[in-house]
Amino acid sequence: MMDEIMVEAEEHFDKAIQAFQREVGKLRTGRATPNLLDGVKVDYYGTATPLSQVASVSVVDARLLQVKPWETKMVAPIEKAILTSDLGLTPSNRGEVVLVPIPALTGDRRREMVKMLRAEGEKAKVSIRAGRRDALDMLEAIDDMSEDDIHRAKKNVQDKVDSAATRVDTLVDEKEVEILKGP
């Protein structure tokens, strides 16, 4: 029973870190990356569909993305979706593809991105702490364990929480350097 609780807690921590990495991948650093367009939804025959399901996104160079739709009549809806996506990007329609130039970030925008990054890091840590609380509650509910075993298990959970929080801090620091340095 205790091993199952520990495995479940570790899975929760890993999922929190993976969700954080996905969110961080969407942050603009001034460098072109297909992850920037992950949150874009395209009107595909009346249904809001993720861009990745109607087109392929590739990096042309450090500051340019190319979006090639599976169907050529989707070029205009893709262009409109990117333009209205609140990413601050201005796509250009080239007939069969949409080119998305990534503008350089200003100093103020870089600092704003770092604030957003730190906020996402804090959300990930909150999720990790929620997993700790759940694991500790489950450990307390076990009746046939000695107090020493419960104490050791709680310490083990806390060690795993500390490790996961350190991983989040490391990812935040690495991304912060990338944002502030630029391409």
Cα 55 to Cα 166: distance, rounded to the nearest angstrom: 37
Q: What tens digit of pLDDT does each residue of 94-141 get?
A: 889 999 988 877 888 788 888 989 999 999 999 999 999 999 998 888
Polymer length in residues for the chain: 183
Threshold 0.75, pTM exceeds: no
Domain boundaries, the chain: 2-26+106-181, 34-101
Which is it for strands 64-69 and 55-61: parallel, antiparallel or unpaired? antiparallel
Cα 56 to Cα 175: distance, rounded to the nearest angstrom: 25
- CATH class label, 2-26+106-181: mainly alpha
Q: Which fold has domain 34-101?
A: Gyrase A; domain 2 (3.30.1360)
Q: Is the pLDDT of residue 175 over 70?
A: yes
Q: What tens digit of pLDDT does each residue of 44-92 get?
A: 888 888 988 999 999 988 888 999 999 989 899 999 998 888 777 888 8
Which is it for strands 98-101 and 41-44: parallel, antiparallel or unpaired? unpaired
What integer pLDDT is reported at residue 162 of this predicted model? 95
